[in-house]
């Protein structure tokens, strides 16, 4: 099957982006618990947040390409945040299992560390020189990655449940935060002040579950990009999230690039839903306790999940792409090394 698609692309029968989307969708559908890659976490509490740094570059056709995808940032309930190199293993166990240990750690022992649980940890979208953490200690802190020092902090009126930065912004450096007072506040790194307070949710017991910046083309003519913030309060969750949200904790979901699949933590498992039909696609089981967060890396086409069991699990495509090519070649009696369609 894979070989037929490649041959079709070589003959010009399949457009490049459709071919890419088909390959990504097939590999996302084959995700399984990796037996080749592990993260050794330094956290002594539940893993609440995961994000891989990916810079987004727009071309002339406003198509987005993801670059790097190397460093994984995690935040945990013991007040710590850690960075892992997802490409280069620290050591190999049994000769072939790549173990990745943290290359950076800030915790309660740090002079500027959070006193309570870290609810969100996000990369500054321009480069890996900065990252942001939000905590139940009512602070949002901006960290210098190289010096592991706090360069700026914002005091919130209550527990901070989530934070996000726009991956497409070019004119501002805003952090959107959701806290216990049900308002979304925009913090400006450039000025060190709050720029906007957004109200909409009502009720004293609501809090923001999650939100994200996303782009919208207002017209095909001018290709103008607007930024929107999507937020959910405690009793305004999406239908497919109902079961997952019963734990009462902020949950972090993930979507594929298409986006065709959405991964949602649900108790001790992760459910994959078809985003267009809303039907359950698969259930991933591997954690021993409640799952709090997941992140899908487009670069490596891997799913990372964090749980109350303090583990970060890696879900990889069951078969590497080059192995799929080799298997199809054998079935057709071909040698990929000796045969092509570009020469006589």
Do 228 and 122 have their domain in common?
Answer: yes
Give 209's contacts (C-beta < 8 A, 6+ positions apart): 161, 162, 178, 231, 232, 233, 234, 237, 241, 245, 250, 251
Distance of CA 177 to the CA centre of its chain: 17
CATH of the domain at 101: 2.130.10.10
Do 137 and 21 have their domain in common?
Answer: no
pLDDT tens for each residue of 49-94: 999 987 655 544 434 444 578 899 999 999 999 999 999 999 998 8
pLDDT tens for each residue of 97-106: 999 999 999 9
Q: Into how many domains does the chain fold?
A: 2
- DSSP E strands: which ranges in 77-138? 81-85, 91-93, 97-106, 118-123, 130-135
Asked, for residue 173, whether it belongs to a domain, the answer is yes
Length of the chain: 344
Distance between first and last Cα of the chain: 25
Q: What percent of the chain has pLDDT over 70?
A: 69
Do 185 and 108 have their domain in common?
Answer: yes
Last residue of a domain, one of 236, 267, 291: 236
pLDDT at 256: 84
Do 252 and 317 have their domain in common?
Answer: yes
Q: Give the tokens for residue 107.
A: 């915790």
Do 144 and 133 have their domain in common?
Answer: yes
Do 218 and 103 have their domain in common?
Answer: yes
pLDDT tens for each residue of 185-209: 899 998 888 888 877 655 433 334 3
Asked, for residue 303, whether it belongs to a domain, the answer is yes
Do 153 and 252 have their domain in common?
Answer: no
Top-confidence range, 124-138, 155-169, 196-210, 244-258: 124-138
Do 181 and 291 have their domain in common?
Answer: no
Do 196 and 90 have their domain in common?
Answer: yes
Last residue of a domain, one of 236, 263, 284: 236
Do 218 and 197 have their domain in common?
Answer: yes
- Structural domain range at position 290: 1-33+237-332
Q: Is 182 left (phi over 0), alpha (psi -120 to 50) or beta?
A: left
**Cβ 84 vs Cβ 101: under 8 Å:** yes
Asked, for residue 315, whether it belongs to a domain, the answer is yes
Last residue of a domain, one of 236, 268, 297: 236
The average pLDDT across 134-155 equals 95
Neighbouring C-beta atoms of residue 39, cutoff 10 Å: 24
Do 177 and 195 have their domain in common?
Answer: yes
List alpha helices for the chain, DSSP H. 2-10, 16-29, 321-331
């Amino acid at each position: 099957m894979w070989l037929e698609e490649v041959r079709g692309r070589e003959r010009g029968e399949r457009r490049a982006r459709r071919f890419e989307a088909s390959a990504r969708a097939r590999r996302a559908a084959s995700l399984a618990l990796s037996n080749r890659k592990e993260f050794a976490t330094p956290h002594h509490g539940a893993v609440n947040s995961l994000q891989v740094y990916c810079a987004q570059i727009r071309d002339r056709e406003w198509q987005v390409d993801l670059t790097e995808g190397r460093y994984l940032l995690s935040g945990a309930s013991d007040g710590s945040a850690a960075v892992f190199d997802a490409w280069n293993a620290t050591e190999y166990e049994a000769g072939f299992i790549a173990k990745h240990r943290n290359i950076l750690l800030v915790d309660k022992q740090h002079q500027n560390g959070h006193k309570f649980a870290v609810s969100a940890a996000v990369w500054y979208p321009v480069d890996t020189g900065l990252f942001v953490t939000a905590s139940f200690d009512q602070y949002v802190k901006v960290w210098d990655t190289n010096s592991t020092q706090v360069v700026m902090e914002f005091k919130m009126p209550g527990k901070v449940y989530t934070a996000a930065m726009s991956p497409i912004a070019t004119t501002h450096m805003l952090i959107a935060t959701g806290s216990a007072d049900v308002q979304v506040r925009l913090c400006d790194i450039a000025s060190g002040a709050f720029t906007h307070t957004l109200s909409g949710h009502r009720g004293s017991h609501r809090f923001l579950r999650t939100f994200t910046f996303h782009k919208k083309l207002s017209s095909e003519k001018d290709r103008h990009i607007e930024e929107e913030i999507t937020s959910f309060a405690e009793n305004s969750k999406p239908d497919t999230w109902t079961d997952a949200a019963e734990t009462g904790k902020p949950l972090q979901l993930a979507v594929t690039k298409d986006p065709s699949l959405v991964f949602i933590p649900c108790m001790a498992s992760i459910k994959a839903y078809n985003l267009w039909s809303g039907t359950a696609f698969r259930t991933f089981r591997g954690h021993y306790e409640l799952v709090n967060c997941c992140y899908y890396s487009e670069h490596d086409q891997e799913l990372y999940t964090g749980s109350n069991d303090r583990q970060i699990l890696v879900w990889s495509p069951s078969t590497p792409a080059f192995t799929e090519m080799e298997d199809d070649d054998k079935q057709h009696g071909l040698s990929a090394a000796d045969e092509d369609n570009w020469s006589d």
